[in-house]
Amino acid sequence: MKKSHILISIVIITITLLSACTSTPAASAEQKPEIETVVVKETVIVEPTPLPEGPVTISFWHTYNETSPESKMLNETLIPMFEEQHPNIKIQALSVPYEDFHRKLVTAIAGGVAPDLIRSDIIWVPEFADMGALVPLDEAMSDFADYQNSVFPGPLSTNFWNGHYYGLPLDTNTKVWLYNKEMYDLAGIEAPAANISELDGQCQALKQADPDAYLFATDGTFAWTILPWIWSMGGDVLSPDMTTATGYLNGPKTVAAYELWLKLYEEGCMAPVVLGNGVDVWTGFAQDMYANLDNGPWTYPIIQSQFPDKKIYASAFPAGEGGSIDVVGGEDVVLFQQSQHQAEAMEFIRFLLSPEYQLKMAEVGQIPVLADAANSDFMKNHEYYPIFMEQLKTSKARPAHPNWSKMDQIITDAGQLILRKELPPQQALDQAAAKIDELLK
C-alpha cells in the first residue's frame, strides 16, 4: 500500500480501513467510540501517518528474565492466545532487566521510541505520570469503570496520580517468611518464629548445629527488604502525608529495626549477601545455607526450576510491636502517550486483565489482581498462594511519590553504611532523613 500525499485522503482511507477492520466479528461494539478518537487525532497531527499495512505491532516491555517461567508462559501460551483472538495485532514482548528498566525507559522516551505498553513496577507510575508520559486510562478507555470495579482496590490505587488513573494493576505480590525445614530439624527449631523476639534464640540454636549456616538472607538494603522489619517493629519512613521523613526514618522504632539488622549481621545470623555479593538467596536456601528468606511467590518457580527437590515452607512474617507487616509489591500496565497504536494497545490491556491471563500467570507465581480470579478455587487450593493472600491483608504499600526512586536509593545507601559500621544507625538515618526531606519539598 502506498502512502497518500494529501492529509484528507489519509483520513478518509484510514476511516474506511478501520471500519473494515471493525466489521469483523472479533471486534466488539466498543471499537466504535475508539475510531472517533483516532480520527480526531488524525486531523490534528500534521505529519502523515503510515497506513496500517497489515498487523499492528504493539511493543510490551517487562522485567521477566528471558529464560524464566513467567517469560515462557507469556511468550509461548498467552501472547499466541491473544494474537489468535486478534489477528490484526501482534505483540512484541521485550525482556529488559530490572536494574536497567527505568534508565532504558527514560532513554526511549527521550529518543521518541517509547514502547506502547510496559509492565511497570508500581513505584514508578507516579513518576512517569508526573512526567506527562502516560495516557490517563480512565479517560482513554470507555469501559474503564468495568475494570476498576473488578480489581482489588489496593493495587488499583497504585495507578492513581493527580486525579487520574494512569494504568491498571497487573499483578500484586507480597513477601512472606519462607523457611527451610531441613535446617530447622537439624537445629532443633520447632516452628518458624511468630515474633521477631524469637529470632535471636533460633539463631543461637542454628549456629550450634551448623556454624556456617545463616538464619536469614536477603540480597540488599533496599526499602523492599528493610521495610517489613521497620513496619513490623512499629516504625515508618515517611509521615502519612508524605511531607517529612524526619521523625520517622530516624525515629526510635525505625532505628531499632536497623539496630536489629546490625546485630543479626554482626552475629553471623544474616548472610553477607546483604552487602551485595555472595551466594544468592535462592541457591543458598536450596543448598541449606540459609534457613529463612523474606521473599515473594516467584521464589517457588525459581528455586524449583533449578533445584526441583527442595521443599519450601511458608509462614507469616514474624510479628513485632506493629504487627506482621510486609511490603506490597506488584506491577501495573501503563500506556505511553507516544504510542502510535493506542487503540490496539488498549485491547491488549483488556486481555491482560482477563481471567484467562490472570489465572495462567498465577501458575507461574503472579498473584492475580482480578477479584474473581483471586477468589477462585485454583487460588484457594493452591500449593502456596493462600499464605501470601493472608499476608496481603496486612501488607503496606510504599509511598506513592514521584521521587520515590531517589528516596529508595538514599535508604539503601544508609543501610549499607550502617551494616558496614561506618556510621552508627541513628546518625546514618538522621542524614538520610535530611536528604529525603529535600526531595519531599
Partner 1 sequence: MNRKIMERARQIGYTLLLALGAFITIFPFIYMISTSLKGPLFVFELPPQIIPKQPTIQNFINAWTSNRFGDYFFNSLKVTLITTILVVWFASMMAYAFARFNFFLKKPLFYLVMFFMMMPAMTLIVPQFILAIKLKVIDHLSGLVLLYIAQNIPLATFLLRGFIEQVPVEIEEAAKIDGASAWDIYWRIILPLSLPALATSAIFVSLGAWDEYVWAMTILNNPEVRTLPVAIAAFQGTHNSDWGLIFAASLTAITPIILLFIVFQKFFVKGISAGAVKG
Partner 2 sequence: MRTKNFQKQLVPYLFLLPGMIFLSVWLVYPMIQAMNISLHDWEIMPGRTSPFVGLAHYLQASTDPLFWSALRNTAFYALVTVFGQLTLGVSIALMVDRLIRGQVIFRVLYYLPVVTSWVVVSLLFKYLFNSSPAGFINYLFVDVFHILSSPVPWLNEANTAWVAIYSLGIWKGVGWTMVIILAALQLLPEECFSAASIDGANDFQSLIFIKLPLLLPTIILVFIMLTIGAVQAYIQVALITGGGPLHRTDVILSYMYYLAFNDLDYGYSSSLSFILAAIVFVISQAQLRLQRPIEMTAGGN
Footprint of partner 2 (CB under 8 A): 103, 106-107, 109-110, 112, 131-132, 212, 272-273, 275-279, 413, 416-417, 420
Residues 6+ positions from 88 with CB-CB distance below 8 Å: 21, 52, 54, 55, 56, 344
Cα torsion angle, 416, 418, 423, 425, sign: positive
Q: Which three cell numbers stand for residue 352?
A: 491482560
Residues 104, 207, 253, 382: which binds partner 1 (CB under 8 A)? 104
Nearer to partner 1, 161 or 177 (CB): 177
Q: Closest distance between partner 2 and the C-beta of residue 129, in Å? A: 14
Residue 131 interacts with partner 1 (CB under 8 A): yes or no: no
Q: Closest distance between partner 2 and the C-beta of residue 58, in Å? A: 21
Nearer to partner 1, 280 or 390 (CB): 280
Q: Closest distance between partner 2 and the C-beta of residue 106, in Å? A: 6
Q: Closest distance between partner 2 and the C-beta of residue 61, in Å? A: 17
Q: Closest distance between partner 1 and the C-beta of residue 405, in Å? A: 16
91 vs 128: CA distance, rounded Å: 22
Residues 111, 163, 211, 240: which binds partner 1 (CB under 8 A)? 111
Q: Which helix (H) or strand (E) holds 374?
A: helix 371-374
Nearer to partner 1, 127 or 219 (CB): 219
Chosen from partner 1, partner 2, none, partner binding at 319 (C-beta under 5 to 8 Å by type): none
Task: With CB under 8 A as the rule, give the number of residues binding partner 1.
Answer: 29
403 vs 232: CA distance, rounded Å: 24
Chosen from partner 1, partner 2, none, partner binding at 253 (C-beta under 5 to 8 Å by type): none
Task: List binders of partner 1 among 269-288 (CB under 8 A).
Answer: 279-283, 287
Q: What is the DSSP pairing of strand 176-179 with strand 290-295?
A: antiparallel
314 vs 297: CA distance, rounded Å: 10
**Helix, strand or coil for residue 36?**
helix
Residue 54 interacts with partner 1 (CB under 8 A): yes or no: no
Nearer to partner 1, 147 or 336 (CB): 336
Residue 359 interacts with partner 1 (CB under 8 A): yes or no: no
Q: Closest distance between partner 1 and the C-beta of residue 120, in Å? A: 15
Q: Closest distance between partner 1 and the C-beta of residue 328, in Å? A: 19
Q: Three-class SS string for 224-284?
A: HHHHHHHHHCCCCCCCCCCCCCCCCCCCHHHHHHHHHHHHHHHCCCECHHHHCCCCCHHHH
Q: Which amino acid, 11?
A: V
Residue 273 vs residues 20, 204, 218, 283: alpha-carbon distances, Å: 58, 20, 7, 12
Nearer to partner 2, 212 or 383 (CB): 212
Q: What is the DSSP pairing of strand 56-62 with strand 290-295?
A: unpaired
The side-by-side arrangement of strands in the sheet containing 176-179 is 214-217, 290-295, 176-179, 313-315
Chosen from partner 1, partner 2, none, partner binding at 63 (C-beta under 5 to 8 Å by type): partner 1
172 vs 328: CA distance, rounded Å: 7
Nearer to partner 1, 307 or 384 (CB): 307
List of residues contacting partner 1 (CB under 8 A): 59, 61, 63, 65-67, 75, 94-99, 104, 107-108, 110-113, 219, 279-283, 287, 306-307
